[in-house]
Amino acid sequence: MKKILSTILLILFSSNISFAAEKIDFKKKAAELAIKKEALERRIEFLKEKKEWLEDKTVNDLLQSGFSMNSDFNITATDDTVQYHLFQYNNELDKALLVICFVDVKRTTCRLP
C-alpha cells in the first residue's frame, strides 16, 4: 500500500502542471497609477475652483451658465426651503458636475455634494 501511495505522490509531484498568476508589468502599472493620480489631482483642483465660483450664485445664474436640471430629482421642498439639484457635464473630466442649491427667504446657498 505504501508503494502505491508513494508512486502516486511521485507522479503528482513530477508532473509538470503548474498554475501561475498573470505576469504583472510593474512599469505599466506605475504609469497607469501616475495617470490616475494626475487626473484625480486635476479633478480636485477643478472642484475647488468650482466651489469658490459657486459663492453668491443663484439658481438662475447657474441655469444661464450652462447647468441643467437633473431629471431624477429636480426640486425638493420643505416648509421654509427649496432644494434644487443641478448638473453640468464636464468634457475634460468626462463626468457630470453636480450642484445642490438651497433657497430660503433670506438667501441662496449653492454647494457641491
- Residues 82, 22: Cα–Cα separation, whole Å: 54
Tens-digit pLDDT profile for residues 64-104: 888 888 666 667 777 788 888 888 876 666 677 778 888 88
- The answer to whether the CB of 89 falls within 8 A of the CB of 70 is no
Q: Are strands 82-90 and 68-69 parallel, antiparallel or unpaired?
A: antiparallel
- Residues 28, 79: Cα–Cα separation, whole Å: 55
- Residue extents of the structural domains in the chain: 26-111
> Percent of the chain at pLDDT above 70?
77
State pTM to two decimals: 0.49
